[in-house]
Amino acid sequence: MNVLVQTLGFGIVSASIIAVGAMGFTIQFGLTNVLNLSYGATMTVAAFVAYLTEQAGINIWLGMVLGGVAGAVLTIFLGKTVFKLYARRGTRLFEMVMVTLGLGLVIEYSVDIVARDKIYSVSFPQGASFHLGAATLTASQLALVGVGIVIFLALEALLRLTRLGKALRAMAVDPGLARSCGIPTNRIVNATWLISGFLCGVAGVIYVINSLSVDYSTGLLFLPVVLAAAILGGVGSPRGALLASLLLGVVTELVAAAGFSSYSSVAAFGVLVVVLLSKPSGVLNAAARKVELTV
Amino acid sequence: MGHFSFYLSTIVVYFGIDLMAAWALNLQYGYAGVINFAFIVFQAAGAYVAGTVVLGPDTGTNSYQHYILGANLPFPVPLLAAALAGAVLSAVIGLFAVRRIRRDYQAAVMLIVSLILLQVVTSDIHLFNGANGITGIPHPLYTALGFSLSSYQWVYALWVLALCAVLYVIVERLGRSSWGRSLRAIRDQEDAAASLGLNGTLLRLEVFVIGGAIAGLSGGLLVEFIGAWSPGAWGYAETFVIFTALLVGGVGNNRGMLLGTLIVPILVLELPTFLPTIGYPGLIGAIQWIIIGLAWMLFLLLRPRGILPERRFRAPRPLADDTVRSAAARWVARVLTLGRPDMAPRGPRLGAAAGRAPVPDDVPVAGDPAVATARVRQAPSGADEG
């Protein structure tokens, strides 16, 4: 029983690490329809920014914000240049995925060149241990859970309570109609790149705080589970992404606790497969809903 | 000269194996539109299986490697086992991944498959010896043939090229068959093709399994040549090499694969091993990946159909009787269409009733989905499936 509670605790920590990335991914994909596989590479860039700030002796929480800003800047740059260029040339959805994968490869190995192909270890004090019932978590783990919750609440508030949020939701449903209602779609897309890029950057930093090392493939190791959570949660829904992250986090930790740590990510993937097989709406090749790139 | 011959034979073997992989991927992506970002996994499955079934049972005595499926199978059997492994793994993954889901989702799912399987094989040392991989796989028939190693390399190269020749005939025939036309039909207009009674999911699964078998075979050939296999050989980016070869050479064009394979894996990845190393270890590798990534993006932007684009199947326009009936004109027509009967202009069948539209005997007719597709594709593409 105690093991179960401890596992649940670790699962929630994993979930909050996954959730930030998944929420960023899901709003980006939901609004622009670009299934952006270079998201992992952007996380890597942000993780390196966090590493540099740590080396410079800057507080890690400030480093997290800086990593987020780096992610936002890189994402809006890519959005306004690369993605826009391809979208204008009539690149189709499935070709766009291929473009983003190539872009991810280019970014990733550019980082590799700058980092001289080395793994850098990052040291953060884990802080005191806290006992919550039978679960023992460190201060930094609790802080990560806190960050996850704060970001979720902030994102929900943004989407539900502000004009920008309303515009974002309108555009996710029907970009054409949104434009004809006077919503400045171009600006909304910019806002999407910024918000999702910020979350992507923060996610990269969070991952590093937890794993304590960074190299050029950091984001790539993290990408499968983020993608799985975003797809599982339903595109464009931060709430869904959060729930999916909880499910995936707990499942992976349960499998690891049962002694199959090599297979914990497979278990997460198994959950995704079950969902794909049971045909959720949105994942299907919806002939009824015409999906276009809005970049 | 000896070094050069050794190097050249190695390049020829790699070329042949990459070519097979490119044809397999062309079946899946070029013909059927399945974005298989996990392609390298199926090659790896073939390589691991072909490797372990000749290593002998894992008795636990050699402490440096652990593996499953150990056996002592004679020469051609490991290759068949490799193809089978590729096919079985494809069938398992295909059952959930090539269903009728949006193609960008499908691509993402494939990428996840590739990354996760790599993680599993790397971290579980009981499967295929984890990150260190399996080593010491003997060259097939090396002692039986009794050649020196450099001569053996050329024998192996010829063997690979011979298999390539056989495979070319197979993939071309598959592509031209009604099955191949059905694949193109579901690729371009799934709804229209379905309305003609084609089962898109089943067709995609079939092509996925066939491509997986070829990938497995190519992996088997590769491991028997290099003698070792580890997770370092099948990172997700390796899929990319084959995909870029496909995109550069020409999507849906098997001859284009020759060109693409020559340019991408050979010119960009293999030849630089000739150059003096620069910078720190790993720098050249990183630069190569960036070049491949940029080539890939540029081709998607400027020439998404590749250097040698797919040749379209056209319903032939009947020419006036006397032009086609004369043997010389028929010969010219055959030369111009490179001996492909499906593209040759044909006259009306002998004895066709005057005044009726001529119906060529073995060309696609109106009910054929490829024809329907060819027409639909002319229309401004608004109904893209995504």
Would you call B300 and A99 a contact, using CB atoms and an 8 Å cutoff? yes
Contacts of A216 (CB under 8 A, 6+ apart): A44, A108, A109, A111, A112, A115, A117
Contacts of B123 in chain A (CB under 8 A): 261-262
CB A284 within 8 A of CB B100: yes
Give me the sign of the Cα torsion angle A250, A251, A253, A254. Answer: positive
Contacts of B96 in chain A (CB under 8 A): 273, 276-277
Would you call A113 and B283 a contact, using CB atoms and an 8 Å cutoff? yes
Q: Provide the β-strand partners of residue B67.
A: B128
Q: What is the mean pLDDT of residues A8-26?
A: 92
Boundary-marking domain end, from B203, B235, B267: B235
pLDDT at B166: 96
Would you call B301 and A86 a contact, using CB atoms and an 8 Å cutoff? yes
Asked if B386 is an interface residue toward chain A (Cβ–Cβ < 8 A), one would say: yes
Residue B22 inside a domain? The answer is: yes
Do B10 and B151 belong together in one domain?
yes
Asked if B283 is an interface residue toward chain A (Cβ–Cβ < 8 A), one would say: yes
With a cut of 80, say whether residue B333 has pLDDT above it. no
Quote the domain boundaries for residue B169: 2-235
pLDDT in tens, B166-219: 999 999 999 889 999 999 999 988 889 989 999 989 999 999 999 999 999 999
> How many domains would you assign to chain B?
2
pLDDT at A295: 72
Do B75 and B172 belong together in one domain?
yes
Would you call A272 and B107 a contact, using CB atoms and an 8 Å cutoff? no
Residue B271 inside a domain? The answer is: no
pLDDT in tens, A146-196: 999 999 999 999 999 999 999 999 988 888 898 899 999 899 999 999 999
In angstroms, what separates the C-alpha of A101 from chain B's closest C-alpha? 8
In degrees and rounded to multiples of 5, residue B56 shows phi and psi of: 85, 160
Asked if B208 is an interface residue toward chain A (Cβ–Cβ < 8 A), one would say: no
What share of chain A has pLDDT > 70, as a percent?
95
Do B70 and B190 belong together in one domain?
yes
Boundary-marking domain end, from B190, B220, B235: B235
CB A268 within 8 A of CB A159: no
CATH top-level class for A2-277?
mainly alpha
Would you call A117 and B190 a contact, using CB atoms and an 8 Å cutoff? no
pLDDT at A118: 86
Best to test chain B binding among A222, A248, A262, A295 (most B CBs inside 10 Å): A262
d(CA B123, CA B128): 10
- If one compares B325 and A288, the residue with the highest pLDDT of the two is B325
Q: What is the ipTM of this complex?
A: 0.87
Residue B306 inside a domain? The answer is: no
Boundary-marking domain end, from B217, B235, B253: B235
Average pLDDT, chain B: 81
Interface of B with A in 118-177 (CB under 8 A): 119-120, 123-124
d(CA B82, CA B91): 14
Would you call B236 and A95 a contact, using CB atoms and an 8 Å cutoff? no
Residue of B nearest to A293 (CA): B386
Do B188 and B331 belong together in one domain?
no
What share of chain B has pLDDT > 90, as a percent?
41
How many CB atoms are closer than 10 A to CB B31? Answer: 26
pLDDT at A202: 95
Contacts of B385 in chain A (CB under 8 A): 285, 287
Residue B281 inside a domain? The answer is: no
Q: Provide the β-strand partners of residue A135.
A: A132
Asked if B384 is an interface residue toward chain A (Cβ–Cβ < 8 A), one would say: yes
Residue B182 inside a domain? The answer is: yes
pLDDT in tens, B73-90: 888 899 999 999 999 999
Give me the sign of the Cα torsion angle B183, B189, B191, B197. Answer: negative
d(CA B114, CA B95): 16
Residue B123 inside a domain? The answer is: yes
Residue B386 inside a domain? The answer is: no
Asked if B236 is an interface residue toward chain A (Cβ–Cβ < 8 A), one would say: yes
Residue B348 inside a domain? The answer is: yes
With a cut of 70, say whether residue B356 has pLDDT above it. no
Contacts of B102 in chain A (CB under 8 A): 93-94, 283-286, 291
Listed by start position, the domains of chain A span 2-277
